[in-house]
A and B are shown apart, each in its own frame.
Chain A
Amino acid sequence: MANEKEVVLSVRNIDINYGEGKHVFKAVKDVSFDIYKGETFALVGESGSGKTTIGRAIVRINPVANGEILYKGKKISGNLSRKEDLEVVKKIQMIFQDPAASLNERATVEYIVSEGLINFHLYNSEEERHEKCEKALKDVGLLPEHLTRYPHEFSGGQRQRIGIARSLVMEPDFIVADEPISALDVSIRAQVLNLLKKFQAERGLTYLFIAHDLSVVRFISDRIAVISKGRIVELAETEELFKNPIHPYTRSLMSAIPIPDPIIEKRKQLYEYEPAKEHDYSVEEPTFQEILPNHFVLANSAEFAKYKAKLVGNKK
């Protein structure tokens, strides 16, 4: 839970496009949110929703077409001087999804973990660098002897931990975790999640956790933003979202997740959602509005009234 309401990352009305001119694809449309220090903020959506695109824009892999991204008040999107760019790299790091593709197969674990340190010469001697690598590996539960090995000699879970060690050795403040557990076996996911939580508690890290699995997200995040087709449709604190899902997309997402309980599953009714039928934006475009304290939903005024009425009706 975020105790201090200090905003660490601020995303303001960003658009992100792929391609140019006639063939432009608007991947992200007018997205805004703030992330507070020490919290785990989850961005949940399905494939093609734009969640990974946003994550990559924050670490400056994708350029932002409109709007801006601010880190601790300073702009980090758009053109930066080399010095500013390096500052961002040191403070914001990313953990990638695919443990098979996110490590350089032809480099030793030592090089992989040290890469950032070498880039900025964040050490005084070779021994110090080596020590930092050893410590990073130990922190993620691997052995120092693994430094001389190659990625393909490890299992998926171990590789993901190497990826985490690589980010953490930079001592960042903010980490974008892009579906860090989706590619892992179910019983291994917990190892990675536990590690992430441990580091957050020890080092005061802030996470942007990108995922498509709401049940995992429920366990680790403080606030959740649901994104669909490039727009954020709902944003609320975790338990509030699960108690009162308002936007039909959120409801369909929750209804679709299979619960590991045979009796519940066999009785379940699937809530189907067809955007074209549910929304009529021909007259009025929707805006992102607060419907309950700290609970926002994307709706035009007609829909907003409808949702409000339903909430009141439920309370009775």
Chain B
Amino acid sequence: MNEKEIVETPVTTTEKVSTPVEEIKKDIYSTDNVVISLKNVEVQFQVRARVLTAIRNVSLDIYDGESIAIVGESGSGKSVLTKTFTGMLDDNGKITSGEIWFEGMDLSKVETSAAWAKIRGVKIATVFQDPMTSLNPIKSIGSQIAEVIIKHQHKSKEEARLMSIELMNKVGIPNAEQRYGEYPFQYSGGMRQRIVIAIALACHPKILICDEPTTALDVTIQAQIIKLVKDLQKEYNYTTVYITHDLGVVASVADRVAVLYAGQIIEIGKVEEIFYDPRHPYTWALLSSLPQLAERGDKLFSIEGTPPSLYHKVVGDAFAPRNQFALKVDFVKEPPMFQVTSTHFAKTWLLDPRAPKIEKPITIQDLHKKMQKRDVKFD
């Protein structure tokens, strides 16, 4: 990552957590393995007479084959961020500065829909939250998958049909051949989302963006869809970018996590680093508010106040007004990204050598032990 000021701080892990043996992957976090790279991206929206800066200077490298989760609450800009690499920003939005490098192209400069048609759905596909509005209600399910195959892979109708049925099987639709001709309303919500995934994978994209794909689904279906996306990743070798606000889902799907607040990435790292060794007070706050960590008689931790309005220029650290560990400098100047390990970075003045040394809150210490105690075990 190219950041302005990188300060090495000694890595302090308060708990020893060993990685399960079967999970040791080859090191994919090297610079020649970057599949898409955002550099100093800024996105602004024109709303009536005012300008909303939804993304404020985000730089992010995403590596081939990884699974990265982008976590944020409403207003953080997480959906907007991924819409920049498929050209799906609303009409009043624009990438006002920065670059997005993908396969040698700067996506921020792509203008025409013809140019986007070669990328969107083909190289970078998105699965959205609501499967009902993602599918065409008056076309049969099978034809919607086949259509994508015919258009981009130039296959014949019959070949496309067979490939579609194959895909439907892969995403777990029972009796795929019979159900090929059915319509979306004949499918349940979970089934529809599987079809949306099938359509997204039809052209073997390099990047699959999942924008809160399970928020509208029941938790049992959610678990199945998450598992599906993970299993298919092993087979199709795509990079998953998962957008969510649910830390449970993050723990389940992600290798790396980027935490977004008020249009900026404030912390990024491997999933174990973020959960067991978080450094930014906002990440601490997010983790502290997990109900699994609360004891029954106590108050649940919550962050007071609301995120800042991005219609105004933000001075200093955007989280400062709500941060119980705020320093005076947080109100004066925006902190740079500080490095914690080669994969873990956080944008907080607390990592500056001059800052007072504080431990993360007690609530989130020994996170793994606490979660294990709460885990429901059954055979």
A–B touch (CB < 8 A): the answer is yes
In the complex, which residues 262-285 of chain A have their Cβ closer than 8 Å to any Cβ of chain B?
A: 262-268, 270-273
Inter-chain CB contacts under 8 Å: number: 134
Q: Which single residue of chain A is at the shortest CB-CB distance from B76? A: A185
Partner of A242, one of B20, B219, B376: B376
CB < 8 Å: which of B246, B304, B371 contacts A261? B371
Interface-lining segment among A72-80, A123-131, A168-176, A249-257: A249-257
With a cutoff of 8 Å between Cβ atoms, the chain A residues found around residue B219 in the complex are 46, 212-213, 253, 256-257
Q: Which residues does chain B contribute within 8 Å of A158, judged by CB atoms?
A: 306
Asked if B204 lies at the interface with its beta carbon under 8 angstroms from chain A, I say: no
Q: How far is the CA of A251 from the CA of B223 in the complex (A)?
A: 13
B302, A212: Cβ atoms closer than 8 Å = no
Shortest beta-carbon distance, A187 to chain B, in Å?
Answer: 4
Interface string of A189-208 (1 = CB under 8 A from B): 11101100100000000000
Q: Distance (Å) between the CB of A241 and the closest chain B CB?
A: 9
Instruction: Say yes or no for B23: interface residue by CB 8 A criterion.
Output: yes
Residues of A within 8 A of B252 (CB): 258, 265-266, 268
Which secondary structure characterizes the binding site on chain A?
helix
Q: Assuming A258-B223, A261-B367, A264-B371, is B248 touching A189 (CB within 8 A)?
A: no
B302 surroundings in chain A (CB, below 8 A) = 187-191, 194
Determine if A255 and B223 form an interchain contact, defined as CB atoms under 8 angstroms apart.
yes
Per the CB 8 Å criterion, the residue count for chain A at the interface is 48
Among A155, A213, A260, A314, the residue within 8 A (CB) of B250 is A260
Interface pair A187/B271, CB less than 8 Å apart = no
- Residues in A neighbouring B287, C-beta threshold 8 A: 260
State whether the Cβ of B74 lies closer than 8 Å to any Cβ in chain A: yes
Quick one: which of B220, B248, B294, B303 contacts A260, CB cutoff 8 A?
A: B248
Smallest CB separation, B296 vs chain A (Å) = 7
Considering the chains assembled together, what is the distance between the CA atoms of A99 and B291 in angstroms?
Answer: 21
A314 to B378, CA, bound (A): 10
Which has the most chain A C-beta neighbours within 10 Å: B290, B302, B374?
A: B302
> Which 4 pairs from chain A and chain B are nearest by CB?
A258-B248, A190-B302, A261-B371, A190-B300
Question: Could you show 27 A-B contacts with beta carbons less than 8 Å apart?
Answer: A155-B306, A185-B74, A186-B246, A186-B286, A186-B289, A187-B303, A188-B302, A189-B302, A190-B301, A194-B299, A194-B302, A218-B292, A245-B378, A252-B220, A256-B219, A256-B223, A257-B248, A259-B292, A260-B247, A260-B287, A260-B290, A262-B272, A263-B17, A264-B371, A268-B252, A270-B223, A270-B227
